[in-house]
Structure formats: structure tokens, C-alpha cells
Structure 1
Amino acid sequence: MKQLLLVFTILFSPSFSAQKTETFKIKKYQIAILGDSLKESSGLNFFNGKLYTFNDSGNSAELFQISLDSAKIQKKLNTKLRNEDWESLTNDGENFYIGDFGNNLGSRKDLKIYKIPFRDSLVLDSTKTISFYYPEQKDFTPKNLNNDFDGEAMIFLNGKIHIFTKEWKSKETTHYIINPENFENQAAEKIETFKTDFVVTDASYFEDKLYLIGYTKLAKVYLIVFKKSENDTFFRETPKKYYLGSAFSLSQIEGIAVNKDGIYISGEEFHSPLGIKKGQFFFIPFSDFD
């Protein structure tokens, strides 16, 4: 996403009432500063043990395979698609899914997910587009950073795409399901809603746990971890919520990916009254994370 945390928003927005939150500052887990080619990294995803990312709107339509220990680019994959506002990346073991559904204004009517077969190289002639809409949205008047139908997070689970919205107005996230085999314009199925008190910018799923990451308008960065319940729901049990630090020192956190070793987090370049904080890359080993 483009830089959205404006000077007066950062300095004067009211704080949110929060549930019980543990502090787990991740600054010491920084392992790299992202280079200019990845300065707007927005989303992380593991595919067959390799970590991938991309830049968001206004950038090239490329996927980047990056190293786990330095975030250096190891391979570039040109999709030859259009990057309207790419915000999330997931896969089903055979296909990448790129979420082109960033919607800060709340006015988009062309929300889509690209389904891209992948076998170490992109199969470009087989790419398909999954179009969808939120049936609850009736008003498409542009309301920058003040709508509940933005989206930057998704996972693939049990044959379905699961989207978790970025709700600027309500400070909640709503869990929607999309059918990846339906290539008509489909209504996203609303499943459940949870009060996060921050906007969700990415998601990862690993070993029956859902990880949602994001920040507040005061630039406070949070992580919530949910346990999966029956019927692939997540919001029935009380989750664990962690305060990770401030975007002023961490950069604008936009990506999370989890594997057996731990949690990988990426942030894009962050502009504030104090200057520019370059995008960063973090790794938290599970041995340090409860």
C-alpha cells in the first residue's frame, strides 16, 4: 500500500481501547534492511520451502524469491499481469494466489485474485482471474482510510481462499471465504468478525494457527494469533495479542509468513514527520516466541 500514515493522523489520532496485550518487541530480530527493489514489500508467503514477496500498487507485476537470512532477491518472476493494488500472497501447493484487492478508498468494484500455476516458473498462459465483491457493501463513495471494505490479508485453507479485511472505520477484521474454482464475479461469503483495534495488513496460517499482523493510526504494530476451530473458523476462542513496537523503528509492517522455524515479518518504507524509515525484514524463532 502507499504511505497512508499522515503527519496529523499519527500525532493526534485517539488511541484504541485494547484487549489484554502482551509486549514482544521485535526490533532485535531485524535481520535485514530491504533494498530499493523491495522498498514496498507487501505480503510474504512460503511455497515449497522458498519465501516469496512482491511490491504493491504503482510497482512492477513481479514476484520475488528472497533468501531467509538476508532478504536478498534470489529470483524474479514476471507475471505479465497488472499490479493495480497487490496486497496479499498465498498458495495451494500448485498455484500462487495474488490478491489485487487493496481498497483504501472503499470505491473499487474490480476486486480480484489472480490464480497462477507454478512449477519453479510461472505458467503464464494458464493464469485465471477470480473476481469477487463484498455483498454487504452498498456505498462506493470514496472514503479514504475510512471504510470497512479494504483488504490486505488472505490464506488458502482446505480448498478455499480466506480473506481477512482491513477495516479502517470499525477497527475490526471480517473473515470471508472465496471459491477458487469460481471464475464468475462471486459474492464473498461472510463467516465471522473480530474486534482487533488495529488494521490487518497480512495473514499467515501454520499448524492450525492463524497469524494476523497490522498497525494502528498511531503507528503501533500488533500481532494476533488465533487457534483454528471447527468449520475452519478462528474467532471463537480468545486469541493471544502482542504489541511488537512502533512503525517509527520497525517500518510499515505489511507481510508475515510462518514455517516450522518461526515467524518472518516484512515492512515497507515508512514516511513520518521524523523522516523515512526503510523497509525491514525480521525473523522470530519459535524458541523465543511463546
Structure 2
Amino acid sequence: MKKILLIVILFAGQSAFAQQTDFLKIKKYRVGYLEDAIQETSGLNILNGKLYTFNDSGNPAELFEIDKKNGKIIRKLKTNLINTDWEALASDGENFYIGDFGNNEGTRKDLMIYKVPYQRLDESITIKIPGSERSFDGTKILFYYPEQTEFTSKNIKNDFDAEAMIYLNGKLHIFTKEWVSKSTSHYIVDPEISELQKAEKTETYKTGFVVTDASYFDKKLYLVGYTKKTEVFLDVFTETEPGIFFKEKPKHYYLGTALSLSQIEGISVDESGIYISGEKFRYPLGTTKPSFYFIPKDQLRD
């Protein structure tokens, strides 16, 4: 009897999960593995039809243009910037915005976003030609979270980390990675202000997972991330008014686990579909290679 009851409970739990979640297991959409130079990919962004990524902390301050078909490196772009903890990449059509605001410990007081003119970056040529790497610099956009009053070290136990950002309506929109509350808060930063500014909190949503990247396309916000159990999810929100996303529940997709997908850290969307990147994921029984995925637009349910 106990065994039957347990089966019923498990089935009920699975049914409830299925009713709330669409399953879009993306392993079948893997189109390539990322090269060693970008095995810690930590963001994706499309600008002028080209797809870019970079590595996070502990790596050189470089951007990479990658092939949208298979994730292979087309060219490398060196910078004169500092990669304290690069975590997000956005663009306004003329400039790149590099979010150097990774804050796992919750101790940083130097959160910033680099603004880099795309024209300088685009002057570089393919890395396959010796000496083709070019350096560029940028300006700093400094900000802080006014709600954060404590800066003692709490590794992955704070709510003031961030890895996701988009550019929209002349502003930069940051979506936090809240380790404790398993939510995300939407902050706005003005890219035209040069002095230290406070990020404006506009809305919060209980995702149930930590958000690792964001993309905006056709009045929809795409947030991707994972749980401590390595489950990977994608939430797709509809913009209900300019720059507001959390008034309605999103479409909630289960994508698989990091054990087979890699640690998902990047997302970018265009008219063709969704590009997703994941860094190398190590676990007790092995390692998952850094991976690159493309999900055709028609595979998402309306």
C-alpha cells in the first residue's frame, strides 16, 4: 500500500510539473561544441547579424565572433579593458555593452558596464590571419544596487549577483541572479550617465532558478538559467508595456540538465530562432563539453 501511495504521489507531482512546464529538451538542437578558447562562455549577443561571446572571470578581456551555424570561432578581438567578471553582453546597434558585474560573493563595490563602439571592433579581420587581433578600449558606466547594504562575503548566498542584461528604449536592463530567493529583479541603468549611479529596481519575478543570461526580441524577453539540481530552464516573457515584463506569467520551458547540456550561460534571439551557449561543466562522474545550440523559431509553442 505504501509503495502504491508513493507511486501515486510521484505521478501527481510529475503531472503538476508537466501542467506548468513545457518540455523543450534542447540536446537534439546541439549544433556544435565550443573550442577551448571559449570553454567558459558567459554571454551571447547578435549585432549587425554577427554573433559574439566571451569568457568570464579568470580569462583574458577578449570577445569572439562565432559562426551561427556551429559555434566555431571566426575571429578574436582583444581589448584594453579588465575582465574582473564579465557576465553579460548587449548592444544598441552601434555599441557593445559588456557587463562586468559578476558578484558571486556579494562583496563588489565596483560594478560596471563597459561601452565599446562596434565600429572599432568591426575593423578587425579574421583571426586565422597571423597578427589579426586588434585591441580596443571603452568607457565605464558605474552603478550600485541601493537595496544592498551588506557586503560581507556570502559565496552564492546573496541576491546581488547578475549575469543578464539587454539594451532597450535607450536604457540598460539588468536581471539579477538571486541565489537565495531564486528570483530575478529587473534593474535599469542609464548608459549616458558617466558618474556613479544607483540602479533603479522596477520589478521582480520568482523564477525558481538563477538567471544566467537574457535576450530581447520582438517584444519578448528570454531568460535562461539553472537550479542547484542542474535543471536548465527558459522563461519567455511578453512585454506588456514599454520595458515591463513581469506582469504576466511567462512560458516556462524545461531544457534538460547541465549533466548533458553543459552549464548554460548565454542566449541570443533573432528572427531565425534561439542561440544558446554553455560552458564546460564538471561533476563527480565526468565533464560535459562546452556546447552550442540553435533552436529554430517554430519549435517554441505560442
Cα drift, residue 238 of structure 1 = 1.4
Q: 1:202 is matched by which residue type in structure 2? A: D
Aligned to 2:248, what secondary structure does the other structure show? Answer: coil
Cα drift, residue 65 of structure 1 = 0.3
Aligned to 2:274, what secondary structure does the other structure show? Answer: strand
The answer for unaligned runs of 5 or more in structure 2 is 1-15, 125-133
TM score, norm. by length of structure 1: 0.92
Matched, 1:121 2:132: no
Cα drift, residue 125 of structure 1 = 6.8
- Checking the alignment, whether the CA contact within 8 Å between 2:103 and 2:161 is kept in structure 1 is yes
Within 1, Cα distance between the matches of 2:137 and 2:290? 33
Within 2, Cα distance between the matches of 1:194 and 1:37? 35
- Checking the alignment, whether the CA contact within 8 Å between 2:239 and 2:245 is kept in structure 1 is yes
CA shift in 2, pair 1:126/1:85, >3 Å: closer
Write out per-residue CA displacement over residues 134-160 of structure 1, whole angstroms, 9 at most, x where no aligned residue.
Answer: 000001010001000000000000100
- Checking the alignment, whether the CA contact within 8 Å between 1:77 and 1:121 is kept in structure 2 is no
**Count of matched residue pairs:** 274
Q: 2:103 is matched by which residue type in structure 1? A: N
Cα drift, residue 231 of structure 1 = 3.3
Find the partner of 1:214 among 191, 208, 225: 225
Within 1, Cα distance between the matches of 2:109 and 2:264? 26
Q: 2:79 is matched by which residue type in structure 1? A: T
Q: Determine the structure 2 residue equivalent to 1:33.
A: 33
- Checking the alignment, whether the CA contact within 8 Å between 1:61 and 1:78 is kept in structure 2 is yes
Q: 1:36 is matched by which residue type in structure 2? A: D
- Checking the alignment, whether the CA contact within 8 Å between 1:161 and 1:179 is kept in structure 2 is yes
TM score, norm. by length of structure 2: 0.88
Q: Determine the structure 2 residue equivalent to 1:253.
A: 264
CA shift in 2, pair 1:125/1:56, >3 Å: closer
List aligned pairs for 1:161-172, cutoff 5 A: 161-172=172-183
**Bigger helix share:** 2
Q: 2:87 is matched by which residue type in structure 1? A: E
Aligned to 1:84, what secondary structure does the other structure show? Answer: coil
Cα drift, residue 248 of structure 1 = 0.1
List aligned pairs for 1:8-27, cutoff 5 A: 20-27=20-27
Cα drift, residue 121 of structure 1 = 3.1
Find the partner of 1:197 among 208, 231, 235: 208
Q: Whose radius of gyration is greater, 1 or 2?
A: 2
Could you tell me the percent identity over the aligned residues?
62
Within 1, Cα distance between the matches of 2:72 and 2:242? 38
Deviates more, 1:230-239 or 1:132-141: 230-239
The answer for unaligned runs of 5 or more in structure 1 is 1-16
Deviates more, 1:113-122 or 1:195-204: 113-122
Aligned to 1:77, what secondary structure does the other structure show? Answer: strand
Q: Determine the structure 1 residue equivalent to 2:102.
A: 102
